[in-house]
Amino acid sequence: MEKLSYLTTFVALIYGLGIANVLAHLSLLLKRGRDADWYWVHTLWTLYLILFMATLWWVQLNWGAVRHISYLDYLSLLLMPALVFVASDLLFPERQREGTIPLKAHFFAIKRRLFLLVLAMLLSDVLDSGLKGWDHLVALGPYYWGDHAYWLVACFVGYRSNNERVQGAIVIGGTLLLLVGMSHVLPAV
C-alpha cells in the first residue's frame, strides 16, 4: 500500500498542477480587468476542466483498494493527468501578451486541438479500464459508457462546428453529465 501511495502522489501532483495552472490563468485575466475579453463558452470550459480535474483526483481515492499495480497500468494512469494538464494550458492564451485578451478568438483558434485532447482523454480512459480486464469493463455500467458515447459524438461535432451555441451546448452537456456522475455514481469517502 505504501508503494502505491508513493505512485499516486505523483499523479495527484499532476492534477494539482493542472488546477493551479487554470487558477493562475484566471487570476491573470482578473488582474487584466477590462483587457480580458471574457467569452461564455471559454468560461464554461474553464469551470468544466476544474471540476473534471477535481473529480479525477477524487476517483484516485479508490486506488486504496488496489493491492498491486503493473508498470504498464501505471503508465496508462499517467496518461490522463498529462492530457488534462495540456488541455488546461491550451485553453488559455500566452501570459505575456499585451493589450486585450480576446478569449472568443482564442477558443475558436484552439478548439480543434482541444477536442482532439478530449478524444485522447477518452481513449486513455478506455485503455486504462481495458487493462483492468473484461469484468472491470462490464462493471463500469451504463453511466460510464453513456458518458463516453456522449463525448465521442461531442468531440466529432465540436471539432467540426464553429457555432457558438453548439460549442456551449457541448460543454454544458458534459458538465451536467459530470455532475450526475459525481452525485450518483462516484463513491463517497
Give the pLDDT of residue 185: 61
CA dist 189 and 181 (Å) reads 15
Bridge partners, 43 (sequence order): none
CA dist 154 and 159 (Å) reads 8
Under the banding of pLDDT at 50, 70 and 90, the label for residue 9 is confident
**In this predicted model, what pLDDT tens digit does every residue of 61-95 receive, in sequence order?**
766 666 677 888 788 888 999 999 999 999 998 86
Under the banding of pLDDT at 50, 70 and 90, the label for residue 7 is confident
- Check residues 68 and 9 and name the one with the higher pLDDT: 9
Contacts for 157 with CB less than 8 Å, ≥ 6 apart: 166, 170
pTM of the shown model: 0.88
Give the pLDDT of residue 60: 77
* Rounded average pLDDT over 1-7: 68
Residue 132 phi, psi dihedral angles, 5° rounding? -85, -5
Assess whether pLDDT exceeds 80 at residue 29.
Answer: yes
Give the pLDDT of residue 116: 98
In percent, the amount of the chain with pLDDT more than 70 equals 89
Tell me the average pLDDT of the chain. 87
